[in-house]
Amino acid sequence: MRTEPKPGHTPAEFEDSMHRLDAAGTLVAVCDGLVRIIRTDGQAHQAVLDGFTLYTPADMSHYVQLEMHERRMLHEFKRRFGGIVEWRDAC
């Protein structure tokens, strides 16, 4: 399943944006509807202490393509266990 980018943005622009965020080491922290943009290890550490769940740009790219129940499952898994998700294409 693919989610189309916002009107006026091509899939290539969406992909480029994800790669720029990844190259800059940017993370997204989410907690109870709040979002923080994370750019340093110190910010990431504080976000975790504050109860936020961290997402990489690749996590967020995949997240927007999921159905709502799949999003909840991914968020609950990351919130409970933390860590890094390795994304692969299905065989």
pLDDT for position 2 = 47
Domain housing 51: 11-81
Confidence of residue 6 (pLDDT cuts 50, 70, 90): low
With respect to residue 4, please indicate whether it lies within any of the assigned structural domains: no
Q: Quick check: pTM over 0.85?
A: no
Q: Is residue 86 part of a domain?
A: no
In a domain, 46, yes or no: yes
| pLDDT digit string, tens, across residues 38-72 | 999 999 999 999 999 999 998 888 888 889 999 89
- Number of domains the chain is built from: 1
| pLDDT recorded at residue 41 | 94
Decide if 88 is inside a domain. no
Band the pLDDT of 12: cuts 50, 70, 90.
Answer: confident
In a domain, 50, yes or no: yes
Does some domain include residue 5? no
How far, CA to CA in Å, does 67 sit from each of 14, 21, 30, 34, 72?
Answer: 19, 24, 18, 20, 9
Is residue 32 in a domain?
Answer: yes
DSSP codes joined into one string, 13-75: HHHHHHHHHHHTT-EEEEETTEEEEE-SHHHHHHHHHTT-EEE-HHHHHHHTTS-HHHHHHHH
